[in-house]
Amino acid sequence: MRIDKFLKVSRILKRRTVACDACNGGKVMVNDKQVKPSYTLKIGDVVEISLGSSTLKFRVLSLKETVKKEESALLYEVIVWVVAQLLPVPVAALGQVLKKINYYFYTKTPPI
């Protein structure tokens, strides 16, 4: 599955075009290599997304073309989540942080 589609299906990024922009902007790395939106993702790959001063690193657990909203978090396992001043964010607050990242892409202002 393409990396841009996975980011959309897993609801890490809200839209596929936003995922494409992130990949083209050099903000997405798979196994420590920058990738293009067409990169074919495999189970077990470690993906790192850097947006502003925030970084999300996760491992791909499953690849599905479509999933329900409740099941989307089962596609990946969060390894590291760092926000702003290198303060780790609890996994329970992950949804709020993802909203800030989506806001950043749409408004081009850094998340608070």
pLDDT in tens, 45-61: 999 998 877 888 999 99
pTM greater than 0.85: no
**pLDDT at residue number 72:** 87
Burial of 68 (0-12, 13-18, 19+ CB in 10 A): exposed
Residues 78 and 56: beta-carbon distance below 8 Å: yes
pLDDT of 37 above 50: yes
C-alpha closest to that of 68 among 10, 19, 20? 10
Phi, psi of 48 (to 5 degrees): -125, 125
Let me know if residue 82 belongs to a domain: yes
| CATH number of the domain where residue 85 is located | 3.10.290.10
Q: What pLDDT score does 108 carry?
A: 56
Name the residue range of residue 69's domain.
3-107
54 is a domain residue: yes
Look at residue 89 in the predicted model and tell me its pLDDT. 55
SS3 assignment for 18-46: HHHHHHHCCCEEECCEECCCCCECCCCCE
Residue 18 belongs to a domain? yes
Cβ-proximal residues to 40 (8 Å cutoff; 6+ apart), any chain = 1, 2, 3
Average pLDDT over residues 18-47: 93
Which pLDDT does position 86 carry in this prediction?
Answer: 46
Residue 112 pLDDT class (50, 70, 90 cuts): very low
Residue 112 lies in a domain: no
Between 51 and 21, residue with greater pLDDT: 21
Structural domains in the chain (count): 1
